[in-house]
Amino acid sequence: MSEDRSSNGHRSWLEKITQAFAHEPKSRQELLELLREAHQNKLLDSEALSIVEGAIQVADLQVRDIMVPRSQMVIIKANQTPREFLPAIIDSAHSRFPVIGEGPDDVIGILLAKDLLPLILQGDNDGFNVKDLLRPATFVPESKRLNVLLREFRANHNHMAVVIDEYGGVAGLVTIEDVLEQIVGDIEDEHDVEEDSYIKPLPSGDFLIKALTPIDSFNEAFDSSFSDDEFDTVGGLVMNAFGHLPKRNEITEVGDFRFRVLSADSRRIHLLRLTPLER
């Protein structure tokens, strides 16, 4: 039966793969070349090839290559009340937050947002102490390989680790999602904009705008006439309207548009939400 199928050119998927790897690769580069050749021969689709390449190359990356830097971490102070830290939790929409004690390098545990749900029912939070809800924090060095970190995440059922520099200070944080995105690509949420796109429409009629959107691209998309003589990007235009480097959730109006800052760090704006105004 198999001889008939081979003679008719209808070889099984396994037979094709076996033939593709008839010559055993002697290096990782040769293996990648074989995989790409298999893709060209339609044995692997583009998505499968990308995942396999990501899984192979993740061993070459270290935690420092993908971590969220310290300046962009959303943290909670152990001495804060729920009224003080809940706005940051709601705005960030994250599920886990490092909690610090006496200083930014003193991470005493991880707070899970779901552990705060009982506060809604209790009403009276006078006796609340965030330390009672903390989970142990996991610490990893900047130099740890991502394949090793992923294995540890799976073994220990952790989803987040605090990254420590060579002096023992907090350098940033890394999540299991950050690692998986190196393998399967970006895991998008409602605040993500496609890599090759600057503007993403939302069902509400608003838009997500990358701050790096060129002024001329913005004008073309929204039939506006902002000048690019002084600023090249929408981020520059919006920052000029604020008159300072804005923080998350600050709002300003420019022309017929309202801009809300969704993501920004200590140096620049990253992502904006645009609401067209009716004049």
Q: Does 204 share its domain with 114? A: no
Q: What is the CATH classification number for the domain harbouring 132?
A: 3.10.580.10
Q: Residue 128 has what pLDDT?
A: 79
Same domain? 78 vs 167: yes
3-state SS of the chain: helix, strand, coil percent to 5?
40, 20, 40
| Residue 177 and residue 87 in one domain | yes
**C-beta atoms surrounding 52 within 10 Å:** 18
Check whether residue 146 and residue 176 sit in a common domain.
yes
Question: Domain check: are 175 and 91 in the same one?
Answer: yes
Please check whether residues 178 and 210 belong to one and the same domain: no
Domain annotation covers residue 188: no
Q: What does each of the 279 residues of the chain score in pLDDT, given as a tens digit? A: 444 444 444 455 556 556 555 567 677 777 778 888 887 887 777 777 777 777 877 777 889 888 888 888 999 999 988 888 888 888 887 889 999 998 999 999 999 988 888 776 666 566 778 888 899 999 999 999 999 999 999 999 889 999 999 889 999 999 998 888 777 765 555 455 444 457 888 766 888 888 889 999 999 999 999 988 888 899 999 999 999 888 877 899 999 999 988 877 767 788 888 999 876
Whether residue 85 sits in one domain with residue 121: yes
- If asked whether residues 162 and 238 sit together in one domain, one would say no
Residue 215, in any domain of the structure: yes
pTM value is 0.56
Residue 63 lies in a domain: no
Q: Both 264 and 170 in a single domain?
A: no
Tally of domains in the chain: 3
Is residue 64, in this structure, part of any structural domain at all?
A: no
Q: 23 with 78, same domain? A: no
Q: What sign for the dihedral angle of Cα 152, 156, 161, 166?
A: negative
Do both 206 and 256 map to the same domain?
A: yes
The reported pLDDT for the residue numbered 189 is 53
How far, in Å, CA of 42 to CA of 244, rounded? 53
Query: CATH number, domain at 207?
Result: 3.30.465.10
pLDDT at 93: 79
The whole domain housing 151 covers 69-182
Say whether both 80 and 7 belong to one domain.
Answer: no
Is the residue at 219 inside a domain?
yes
Does residue 167 form part of some domain? yes
Q: What are phi and psi of 210, to 5 degrees?
A: -70, 135
Residue 62 resides in a domain: no
> Beta-strand (E) ranges in the chain?
68-69, 76-77, 96-100, 107-112, 139-141, 160-164, 170-175, 199-201, 207-210, 251-254, 257-264, 269-276
